[in-house]
């Protein structure tokens, strides 16, 4: 149960809306109780040094504190992760599914589409070097995923983040 949650008043100009602003956040106070009911399960497996994990969350019902469903949240979430170490190289593959988004009955926007984000991270730690290297890619296949806005009158979804590539090197003092 969450109290003192924030909502947006969306009292902003059309030009700001067009640029993605959603309005000022307003604290509803501690008397408003937000509730979500559902279940969450996680399964992990280790074979030799390979780790696999699967997590499922299913929200059955929600209440925004005023008797209506909480808008624009994914009610079905599935996360899968596979971590494979191979000598000096470690590869981590993750996938996140978000779907079954809630939406108010009077919302005129198109429903939020389900999406899957795939992430790959590689860590190289050569045994004879004090350097370690990281390379990661996020949103590997779905670079147009759009997240919903919780604003009361915002007419579009937030734009997708696109493909993200990052990396780095770390020197380890010994």
- The rounded Cα 126 to chain-centroid distance in angstroms is 32
Is residue 1 a part of any domain in this protein? no
Collapse the DSSP code of 5 into the 3-class scheme (helix H, G, I; strand E, B; otherwise coil) and give the result: coil
Q: Where is average pLDDT lowest: 66-75, 84-93, 121-130?
A: 66-75
pLDDT at 163 over 90: no
Mean pLDDT of 14-36: 71
Domain limits for position 68: 36-171
74, 96 in Cβ contact below 8 A? Answer: no
Q: How many CB atoms lie within 10 A of CB 7?
A: 18
The pLDDT of residue 122:
96
pLDDT of res. 97 = 92
Whether the pLDDT of residue 116 is over 60: the answer is yes
Q: Which of the pair, 70 or 75, is modelled with greater confidence?
A: 75
Cα 77 to chain centroid distance, Å, stands at 9
Higher pLDDT, 60 or 115: 60
Looking at residue 159, its pLDDT comes to 53
The predicted model gives 106-127 an average pLDDT of: 84
The residue behind tokens 């971590």 is 83
Q: Is residue 3 part of a domain?
A: no
Q: Tell me, yes or no, whether 70 lies in a domain.
A: yes
64 neighbors 33 (Cβ within 8 angstroms) = no
Highest mean pLDDT among 34-43, 104-113, 132-141: 34-43
Residue 114 lies in a domain: yes
How many separate domains does the chain show? Answer: 1
CB-CB contact of 146 with 159 (8 Å): yes
- The confidence score (pLDDT) of residue 128 equals 87
- Collapse the DSSP code of 137 into the 3-class scheme (helix H, G, I; strand E, B; otherwise coil) and give the result: strand
- Predicted confidence (pLDDT) at residue 153 exceeds the cutoff of 60: no
Distance separating the N- and C-terminal Cα atoms of the chain = 47
pLDDT for position 79: 97
115 closest CA partner among 91, 92, 138, 81: 138
| DSSP letter, residue 128 | T
The reply to whether the predicted model has a pTM over 0.75 is no
For residue 74, name the pLDDT band (cuts at 50, 70, 90): confident
Query: Measured between alpha carbons, how far is residue 15 from residues 8, 9, 153, 159 in Å?
Result: 17, 16, 14, 16
């Amino acid at each position: 149960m969450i109290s003192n949650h924030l909502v947006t008043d969306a009292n902003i100009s059309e030009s700001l809306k067009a640029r993605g602003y959603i309005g000022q956040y307003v604290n509803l106070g501690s008397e408003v109780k937000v509730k979500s009911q559902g279940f969450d399960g996680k399964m992990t497996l280790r074979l030799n040094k390979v780790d696999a994990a699967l997590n499922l969350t299913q929200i059955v019902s929600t209440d925004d504190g005023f008797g209506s469903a909480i808008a624009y949240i994914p009610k079905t979430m599935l996360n899968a992760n596979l971590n494979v170490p191979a000598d000096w190289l470690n590869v981590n593959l993750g996938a996140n599914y978000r779907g079954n988004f809630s939406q108010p009955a009077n919302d005129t926007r198109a429903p939020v589409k389900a999406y899957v984000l795939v992430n790959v991270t590689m860590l190289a730690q050569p045994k004879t070097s004090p350097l370690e290297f990281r390379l990661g890619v996020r949103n590997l296949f779905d670079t147009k995923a759009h997240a919903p806005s919780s604003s009361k009158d915002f007419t579009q979804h937030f734009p997708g983040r696109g493909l993200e590539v990052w990396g780095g090197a770390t020197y380890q003092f010994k």
